[in-house]
Structure 1
Amino acid sequence: MSDRITIKFNAAQFLTSAPTLKHCPPDTGAEVAFAGRSNAGKSSAINTLTQQKKLARTSKTPGRTQLINFFTLGEEQTRLVDLPGYGFAKVPLEQKLEWQKHLAKYLEERKSLKGLVLVSDIRHPLQEFDRMMIQWAEDSQMPLHILLTKADKLKKGPAKNTMLDVKRALKDFQGEASVQTFSALKKEGLDQLKSRLTEWLTPDEADQAIEELIDQDSE
């Protein structure tokens, strides 16, 4: 970690919104996606991470966000991605299935995607949407980090027990997976989250060497 660059999370700026994979920005650089059911605290987590109150818009109408939203972190080659949350969205089943198709396509085909942060309310973890995302992450061989939000709503003992339960549920996960508690209100767990994202967003020396060889071949 000592050789890794510093990610400027507080420099985050909105880049664009995309309804489908083909409307996403160029598939270069590195990005980390946030996914979560409506009301899981995804927008609050992104806003706390970037120290910006309105970067990811919070809505009183769950499921309102239906687009893949991209934010740059100081430069366009490093991005955060806010995926649609539709846990409680009051929309036709056909539309939900269409969202799921685009989301699955993004997770499976987006080469610049380096990891998935699954945001889950610590009081209601591992709901149907969460399990679907975990399965997609496994199928796509995508590193996964589960963010158990609203940890301030529980005492430390129950919060720790819930985290351990989630870790046990992931014991058969075929790939890289980690879990932490998080409170946007108290900013607890923020450093741990930043550390995980920095690890994903900054290439190691082997990755950099490969990219340099690709650049040389294309010249």
Structure 2
Amino acid sequence: MRLDFLFSWDSGRGKRHPARHLLSGYAAHFTEERDAPHAACIFETVSPSPRFPSAEFATSVAELPALAQATLAMLPELAFVGRSNAGKSTAINLLTERRRLAFASKTPGRTQMLNFFTVLDDAPVAQRKACAYLVDLPGYGFAKTDAMTRDRWDALVGGYLRSRRMLRGVVLVMDARRPCLPADEELLAWICGRDDLDRFRLHLLLTKIDQIGTAQRRAALALAEQRAEELPIATSVQLFSALDRSGVEELRDSAAQILES
């Protein structure tokens, strides 16, 4: 059995890493026996979300024509897209409380496929059924990728966002330090080209707010809210931090509403 939420801690790193989050029932390993009694002060237990009680990898698609042959059920899909290293995969992992569900590459532009993750309902384990898909799209805005790869990305991601019938909405992940860049606008143009905008939802997720001050957070939020008002799509906006988990519940609420719409 693989333990997705196994975390090792030692007192020498305690001041720099004062808190970590574990799922109830999973294990934390302490390098010094004397540290174990302090677990309640070091960790905050986190239970699986009732709206996303379980999720697992489904399939990856490298080219749009292959999507038609993929063994996917006719279920609502919610796509996560954003600039490379904006925090897409991390947001999916926090949404589902699965630390390694979506792969987070440290190399911009490394992930070049549509990665589908099945959301299961909250029935007993043996009776669980798929109820939706989360889709991790390749990151964009990477400078070290050749023109052929970028053209392939345009065809794959652009085609998916413009024409995928089961797609109910998109979470556009933007670094709060640099929101609403030209590459983001290109992606918004693809989305706005859909013919079902009256039933479509967009959620702007401003990440890494722990790295900026209050004034910069407010400025980023104001800019994103202004852009949201200009779009022909029902759009919501929020701040988010993977480091201190601020905004996780708000993201779950928004994701659930999109998939249920």
Quickly name the TM-score band, shorter chain normalised: 0.7 to 0.9
For residue 101 of structure 1, what is the aligned residue in structure 2?
155
Bigger radius of gyration: 2
Closer, same or farther: CA 10–89 of 1 in aligned 2, 3 Å: farther
> Does structure 1 conserve the Cα–Cα contact (< 8 Å) formed by 2:175 and 2:207?
yes
For 1:170, what is the secondary structure of its paired residue?
A: helix
Corresponding residue to 2:203 among 145, 169, 172: 145
TM-score w.r.t. the length of structure 1 is 0.84
For 1:45, what is the secondary structure of its paired residue?
A: helix
> Does structure 1 conserve the Cα–Cα contact (< 8 Å) formed by 2:51 and 2:256?
no
For residue 174 of structure 1, what is the aligned residue in structure 2?
232
Where do 1:64-83 residues align within 5 Å? 64-74=110-120, 75-83=129-137
Q: Percent identity?
A: 39
For residue 24 of structure 2, what is the aligned residue in structure 1?
none
Instruction: Using the TM superposition, give the Cα deviation of residue 35 of structure 1 relative to its aligned residue in structure 2, in angstroms.
Output: 0.2
| Amino acid corresponding to residue 166 of structure 2 in structure 1 | S
Closer, same or farther: CA 81–89 of 1 in aligned 2, 3 Å: farther
Measured in 2, the distance between the counterparts of 1:91 and 1:154 equals: 29
Structure 2 residues without counterparts, runs of 5 or longer: 1-48, 121-128
Measured in 2, the distance between the counterparts of 1:127 and 1:7 equals: 35
Measured in 1, the distance between the counterparts of 2:113 and 2:217 equals: 32
Measured in 1, the distance between the counterparts of 2:188 and 2:251 equals: 18
Are 2:184 and 1:130 equivalent residues in the alignment?
yes
| Amino acid corresponding to residue 171 of structure 1 in structure 2 | E
Measured in 1, the distance between the counterparts of 2:73 and 2:160 equals: 11
For 1:63, what is the secondary structure of its paired residue?
A: coil
Report Cα offsets for 1:22-68 as digits up to 9, x if no partner.
32344611110000111111111111111111111111211100000
> Does structure 1 conserve the Cα–Cα contact (< 8 Å) formed by 2:64 and 2:155?
no
For residue 86 of structure 1, what is the aligned residue in structure 2?
140
> Does structure 2 conserve the Cα–Cα contact (< 8 Å) formed by 1:27 and 1:112?
no
Are 2:248 and 1:190 equivalent residues in the alignment?
yes
> Does structure 2 conserve the Cα–Cα contact (< 8 Å) formed by 1:147 and 1:180?
yes
For residue 210 of structure 1, what is the aligned residue in structure 2?
none
Question: How many residue pairs end up in the alignment?
Answer: 198
Are 2:178 and 1:121 equivalent residues in the alignment?
no
For residue 223 of structure 2, what is the aligned residue in structure 1?
165
Closer, same or farther: CA 34–7 of 1 in aligned 2, 3 Å: farther
Are 2:103 and 1:49 equivalent residues in the alignment?
no
Report Cα offsets for 1:109-164 as digits up to 9, x if no partner.
21111000000000011122211111112122342111000011122332122101
For 1:106, what is the secondary structure of its paired residue?
A: helix
Are 2:12 and 1:12 equivalent residues in the alignment?
no
> Does structure 2 conserve the Cα–Cα contact (< 8 Å) formed by 1:28 and 1:111?
no
For 2:157, what is the secondary structure of its paired residue?
A: helix
Measured in 2, the distance between the counterparts of 1:97 and 1:161 equals: 33
> Does structure 2 conserve the Cα–Cα contact (< 8 Å) formed by 1:40 and 1:120?
yes
Structure 1 residues without counterparts, runs of 5 or longer: 1-5, 204-219
Moved over 4 A (4+): none
| Amino acid corresponding to residue 9 of structure 1 in structure 2 | F
TM-score w.r.t. the length of structure 2 is 0.71
Instruction: Using the TM superposition, give the Cα deviation of residue 193 of structure 1 relative to its aligned residue in structure 2, in angstroms.
Output: 0.8
| Amino acid corresponding to residue 184 of structure 1 in structure 2 | A
